[in-house]
Structure 1
Amino acid sequence: MPLIVLVSVLVLGLLSICGLWVLRNRDASPPEDARQPAPVLVESTSPPRSASTTATSTAATSTTTATVTTTVSGSESASPGSAEPSGSSSVATDEATATSQLGSLRTSGIAATNLDGTWSAQIASQYVGVEDHQLQPEPFTAVDILNLHRRLVADSRFAGRPVVMLKQNDFGKYGKTDKEIWITMVLLGHSSKDDVQSWCESTFGMTGEQLKNFCLPRQMKPLYR
């Protein structure tokens, strides 16, 4: 018995010594993740692909919008129903060109006008050399007549109504004159003179003799003497 006890004590002692040695070595060694080098983060300087695509799309849209805006700004506005032919909106700066464009406008105006006995409104009537100080201080030129007509075509008060250019003797009672009188008409198609008179008064806010210089009822009948 004493021998067995002695052997047991020796075995336990050796096991204790081995355990202490293992524990000491484990505490002395660094942990696994501490022995690995820290990763180096490299920041990319190139933008993401999606950001580049978005920037390109935005720039393309801006360019298109600017182009469209420039095109629209360069065109002359006209009210819906206007009989002004395409290609006649270029600005005339000389009398010959203006007279030619007035002739083109008159041709399209005749085509758009029905001489059916209805009543419409005459809103301008000028010839080259006439003086009308309510409209301008200088005598009218062909360029002035053309520009006035275009302003009337673009006037929002007449939106939705055909605004046409005619000559004095294209309809109604013949008037003997050696002047080339250009007339701007708003084709209303009303059944009576009084209806057009009321329209003139409400549209221009005038009455009496003053109104006659800006708006006058005219019956759309074939030319007669």
Structure 2
Amino acid sequence: MLDDILYPYTKPTISFSASPAGGVREKGTTLEEIVLTANITKKSENIKKVEFLKDSAVIGTIDAPKAGGGTETYTYEQPINANCQLKARVTDAKDGTVDSSAQSYTFVYPLYIGSLDASASSPTQDQIKALEKKVVTKGTQKYTYTIDNKRMCIACPPGWTLSKIVDPNGFDVTSSFAKKTVSVTGLDGTAQSYTVYVSEPTTQSGFAVTFNV
């Protein structure tokens, strides 16, 4: 009892990393192998078990970890090509458990943005794919145009809807963009319905446009 007062129980601490690390990747990308690393600091009790998890499922267990803490690694060899989270969990001799922060893996269809020739009022898949590709999660985009008689264009993947297009002076210019639907084949081989916004031909220098989602 006195020891409990003088030396109160403290759970271990754990940090976690993965290689390749989490992040945003294009749908159709597959990670074949991920090396998971947990760094554990012992506190009151010896370390009894270390687990690695994908979302809520245990994918690997180290049943005889370093009792005094340290580094534990596990290689996950199942392909990852869909959204998930990876993390580690430590259990000490008193059955106190602590989860690490997670690495998030996100897979998206890309956004395409840039300019088209004046003749491309109804852009094709190839013309869209020739624009700058951005592998990003849904959010407001900004793009600066320096163009001569070209059309400003943004092609949004499924799930994206632009609420407003704003010019450098803060004016809403959404109505000046034609809205079209174009089928674009993703890296995963599936046809995706993109919402494409195309302006009239224009000449601009350093013209910063904000595409609000």
The TM-score by the shorter chain falls in which range? under 0.3
- TM-score, normalised relative to structure 1: 0.19
- TM-score, normalised relative to structure 2: 0.19
Considering fraction of residues, name the structure with more strand: 2
